Amino acid sequence: LKSPDRGTPAATGEHARIRRILNRLPPAPAALVVGPGDDAAVWEAPRGTLQVLTTDALVEGVHFDRRLTSPADIGYRALAVNISDVAAMGGAPHLALLSLALPDGITSEVLDGLVDGLLDMAAEANVSLAGGNITHTPGPLLLDVTVVGSVKPRKVLRRAGAQPGDFIYVTGALGAAAAGLGWLRDAPEGDIPSAEPADAEMAACVARYRRPSPRTRIGTLLGRSRVASACMDLSDGLGDAVRQVSEASGTGAWLDAAALPIPGGARRWFASRGEDPLEAASVSDDYELLFTVPRRRLGRLRHVAREARGVPLTRIGEVTKGRSIEIRDGERRLPLPSGYEHFRKP
Amino acid sequence: LKSPDRGTPAATGEHARIRRILNRLPPAPAALVVGPGDDAAVWEAPRGTLQVLTTDALVEGVHFDRRLTSPADIGYRALAVNISDVAAMGGAPHLALLSLALPDGITSEVLDGLVDGLLDMAAEANVSLAGGNITHTPGPLLLDVTVVGSVKPRKVLRRAGAQPGDFIYVTGALGAAAAGLGWLRDAPEGDIPSAEPADAEMAACVARYRRPSPRTRIGTLLGRSRVASACMDLSDGLGDAVRQVSEASGTGAWLDAAALPIPGGARRWFASRGEDPLEAASVSDDYELLFTVPRRRLGRLRHVAREARGVPLTRIGEVTKGRSIEIRDGERRLPLPSGYEHFRKP
C-alpha cells in the first residue's frame, strides 16, 4: 500500500485510508525486507524454492453482492480464491498484494471490514499483506489480489499430467457453496450477510460460501509426496475443472454420480428448489482441489489422507483414454454440466 | 491467464479471448517453469536475489480516457507504471501478471490493442507476461498489473535514507507528461489518440505522455553502485515524491526552481495556457526517478551518469535538517505544489 489514491482530489482522505489499513497489519515477518509503504515490496523467498504467482479479481455485481455478503467475507474471499490457486500448484502461500478500486460511498467501516476479513484469511494461511494500492473508481467495488507462494522444484502440481487409469479425487465437499449462496439469495429481508439458517447442515453450507477454505495443507502434501499426477482447484466448479484437467492432459474422464461428496444439507436445498443436485454441485465454486492419482501411488495417498486433518479425500471417477467426459448415474450416462456464473443477480 | 471469464454466461467467448491473448505471447524464458494457462505461474528467481513486488491499477475515467489514449498506449502504460515502481527500488523487472476487468462492448480489436501495447513495454523491459485473469465488469475498463522483479540484497533503494546535505536529483524531464496530456485534451475532434502536434518539442511531450519510459537501467545502476541514499519514482509528480522521501527520511528539502529540467515545449505549453510551469511540472506523472546522493558519492554518480545512455541526471536541490519543503525561485521561497489528479475529465 504504497501510494495515495490516484485520481481523486481527496488525496489526504486516501492517505488516511492507507494509514488506517497499515495500522491494522500485524508485524511483518523477517523475510519481508521492505513491507508496505515504499514503491514496491522486497521479499526473500525460502531458499531452494520456485515462486508461485497468481492474481484474481472480485468485482461487485459479478462475483459478490454486498446485500448478501459482508465486507469482511468479501475481503476473506478475495484472498482465499488466490490462495486456493497457489495450493492447486502444490505451493505454500506467503505474501499478498491488494489492489482496491473504491467507488464513492465506501465508508471507513466498510473498508475496515474488507481489510479485516482479508487479514483473517491471511492469518489462517500465514500470509503477509506486503503491499498494494488504492484507487477511486466510478464503477463497482473491485478487489484484485495477487498471492506469491513458494514450491520446491519437481514438486509442482500442474493441470497436465493425468494418465488414463488414474483415479480422480476431490477434497472436502461439493455443492456447499452453491447451496449456501442459494439460501442467502432466498433469505428474508433483513441483515442477510449475518443471517444464520436454523438447520445446522444448511448453516455449514452458508459458512462454506462465506468463508471458503483453500486447501493449502493438502496441496503441499500432494506436491511433496508426488502422489498427484495433475491438480486444479474448483474455482469454476467441478465440471470446469474436470474439463480443464482433461484438456491439458489430453485425456477423458468419467465420474461416478453416487460418489460425489455432496453434503446432505446441500442435497436437500437443491431438491427443495427443484434443482438437480448433480448439476448444481458441478457448477458450485467450492475452492476444493481436484486431483488425479496413478494407481501405484494409492499407498502414498493413504499417508496424505492421514495428514489431511479431517478433510475427506473422495474418489469420484477415473481418467480415460478417449476425450469424452461423462457422469455415470447408475446405468445412465450423462454429459458433465458446464458453464458457470460466480454470481447471478437475485 | 488461467481461467475463463468468471461472471458472464459467455464463457466460451472469454475462453476465446484468453486464447487470443496467449497466441500473442512471445516464447517464455526458461526461468518461467509454468507460464500462463495453469492455476498459477511458477518462476525461478535469479540466484542470490530478493524479489521485488508491486501492483497498480489503471481505471478508465480516472487514470485514462479512451477518447484521448489508444488501447495500445493504455496497455503500455499499465505495465510501465509498475515497472517504474520496481526500478525505484533498484530492481530489475522480470514478470508481469495482468488482471483485466472488461466492460460490455470491448471489441477484439480493443483487447488486442491493450495486450499488444503491454507486450511492447514487456519486450522493451525484458519482462514476460506470466499469467493473469479476465473478468467481466458492469463498470469501467480496469487493468491491474503486478510486476515481479529481483534485486541483490543490500542494493535495495528505499524512500527512507536521505540525510541532510544530500543532493536531490531527477532523471529525464519534468512536466512533459502533463503538457502532452494537456495538448491531447485540447486537440481538435478527430482521431486524438493518434494525433501528432506539428511542433517537434510538443510532439515529444505527447509521446512521453503516451509511452512513459520507466528508468530501470538507472534504477539498477543506482542500486548496484550504492550511489543513492533514497529513491522514489514520480508516479504522482515531483511534489508528492519530495514530500514522501522527506517524510520517510525525517528530513526537509529545498528545490531550485531554475534547475528543474522542464523541457522548452512543456514550458511554452504551460505558458500558453496561463499555467505556472513550476506548478504544472510538480504534479506531472512523468515516471522519472527522484533520488538523493550523499556528497561523498558524487564521484560514483559520474560513473552512473556515463552509463545512463543519454538520460540526463539533474541536480535540483538539497536535503535539509528541518521538516520544511520549499522551492527557491531567485529570492522567492515558494511552498511545493502538492495534490495530483492523474486524469481530469476534459
Residue A305 has pLDDT above 50, yes or no: yes
Judge: A146–B8 Cβ closer than 8 Å, yes or no: no
A340 falls in which pLDDT band (50, 70, 90)?
Answer: very low
- A344 to chain B nearest CA, in Å? 8
- DSSP type of residue B249: H
**Residue B128 contacts residue B29 (beta carbons within 8 Å):** yes
Residue A11 has pLDDT above 70, yes or no: no
Share of chain A above pLDDT 90, in %: 83
C-alpha–C-alpha distance, residues A119 and B61, integer Å: 30
A4 falls in which pLDDT band (50, 70, 90)?
Answer: very low
Count chain A–chain B contacts defined by CB atoms under 8 A: 256
pLDDT in the model for residue B334: 85
**Residue B293 contacts residue B227 (beta carbons within 8 Å):** yes
**Which range, of A20-24, A74-78, A203-207, B264-268, averages the lowest pLDDT?**
A20-24
Closest Cβ–Cβ partner in B4, B39, B139 for A89? B39
- Name the strand (E) or helix (H) holding A252: strand A252-256
Closest Cβ–Cβ partner in A51, A63, A86 for B6? A63
- Whether residue A41 lies within 8 A of chain B, CB to CB, comes out as yes
pLDDT in the model for residue B3: 44
pLDDT in the model for residue B308: 94
**Residue A90 contacts residue A218 (beta carbons within 8 Å):** no
Is B213 exposed, middle or buried (CB count within 10 Å of its CB: 0-12, 13-18, 19+)? buried
**Residue A179 contacts residue A280 (beta carbons within 8 Å):** yes
pLDDT, tens digit (0-9, with 9 covering 90-100), for A260-292: 999 999 999 999 999 999 889 988 989 999 999
C-alpha–C-alpha distance, residues A44 and A185, integer Å: 44
**Residue A140 contacts residue A47 (beta carbons within 8 Å):** no
Residue A48 has pLDDT above 80, yes or no: yes
- Whether residue A88 lies within 8 A of chain B, CB to CB, comes out as yes
Judge: A44–B153 Cβ closer than 8 Å, yes or no: yes
Residue A211 has pLDDT above 90, yes or no: yes
Residues on chain A touching B65 (C-beta within 8 angstroms): none
C-alpha–C-alpha distance, residues A94 and A53, integer Å: 10
**Residue A42 contacts residue B154 (beta carbons within 8 Å):** no
Rg (CA), chain A: 21
Residues on chain A touching B216 (C-beta within 8 angstroms): none
- Name the strand (E) or helix (H) holding B9: none
Residue the block writes with cell 512513459? B212
Judge: B88–A41 Cβ closer than 8 Å, yes or no: no
Residue the block writes with cell 489518440? B193
What 3-state class would DSSP assign to B259? Answer: helix
pLDDT in the model for residue A9: 38
- Whether residue B3 lies within 8 A of chain A, CB to CB, comes out as yes
C-alpha–C-alpha distance, residues B327 and B279, integer Å: 10
Q: Which of B45, B30, B33 is closest to A154 using CA atoms?
A: B33
Interface of A with B in 283-322 (CB under 8 A): none
A149 falls in which pLDDT band (50, 70, 90)?
Answer: very high
- Which of B271-275's residues contact partners 24+ apart within 8 Å by CB, and which partners? B273/B182
C-alpha–C-alpha distance, residues B250 and B265, integer Å: 36
Closest Cβ–Cβ partner in B3, B52, B340 for A235? B3
Judge: A85–B40 Cβ closer than 8 Å, yes or no: yes
Residue A73 has pLDDT above 60, yes or no: yes
pLDDT in the model for residue B338: 65
Mean pLDDT, chain A, rounded, equals 92
Judge: A11–B142 Cβ closer than 8 Å, yes or no: no
Interface of B with A in 235-274 (CB under 8 A): 235-236, 240, 248
Closest Cβ–Cβ partner in B45, B146, B153 for A55? B146
Q: Which of A180, A39, A137, A228 is closest to B54 using CA atoms?
A: A39
| DSSP-derived pairing of the beta strands B92-102 and B142-151 | antiparallel
pLDDT in the model for residue B18: 84
| DSSP-derived pairing of the beta strands A50-59 and A142-151 | antiparallel
Residue of A nearest to B59 (CA): A137
Judge: A9–B341 Cβ closer than 8 Å, yes or no: yes
**Residue B319 contacts residue B262 (beta carbons within 8 Å):** no
- A244 to chain B nearest CA, in Å? 9
Residues on chain A touching B7 (C-beta within 8 angstroms): 59, 62-63, 341-343
Judge: B85–A39 Cβ closer than 8 Å, yes or no: yes
pLDDT in the model for residue A260: 96
Residue of A nearest to B50 (CA): A44
Scanning chain A, the segments in alpha helix (DSSP H) are: 11-24, 71-88, 108-125, 176-186, 200-210, 216-225, 237-249, 264-272, 277-282, 298-306
Query: For residue A100, what are the CA distances in angstroms to A21, A140, B338?
Result: 12, 11, 23
C-alpha–C-alpha distance, residues B132 and B140, integer Å: 18
**DSSP states of A168-220 as a string?**
EEEES-SSHHHHHHHHHHHSPSS-GGG---SSHHHHHHHHHHHS----HHHHH
Residue of A nearest to B54 (CA): A40
A338 falls in which pLDDT band (50, 70, 90)?
Answer: low
pLDDT in the model for residue A13: 65
Exposed e or buried b for every residue in A72-81, given b needs 16+ CB within 10 A? bbbbbbbbbb
pLDDT in the model for residue B10: 41
Encode chain B (346 residues) as per-residue pLDDT tens digits.
654 444 443 444 677 788 889 999 999 999 999 999 999 999 999 999 999 999 999 999 999 999 999 999 999 999 999 999 999 999 999 999 999 999 999 999 999 999 999 999 999 999 999 999 999 999 999 999 999 999 999 999 999 999 999 999 999 999 999 999 999 999 988 999 999 999 999 999 999 999 999 999 999 999 999 999 999 999 889 999 999 999 999 999 999 999 999 999 999 999 999 999 988 998 898 999 999 999 999 999 999 999 999 999 999 999 999 989 999 998 989 888 765 433 333 2
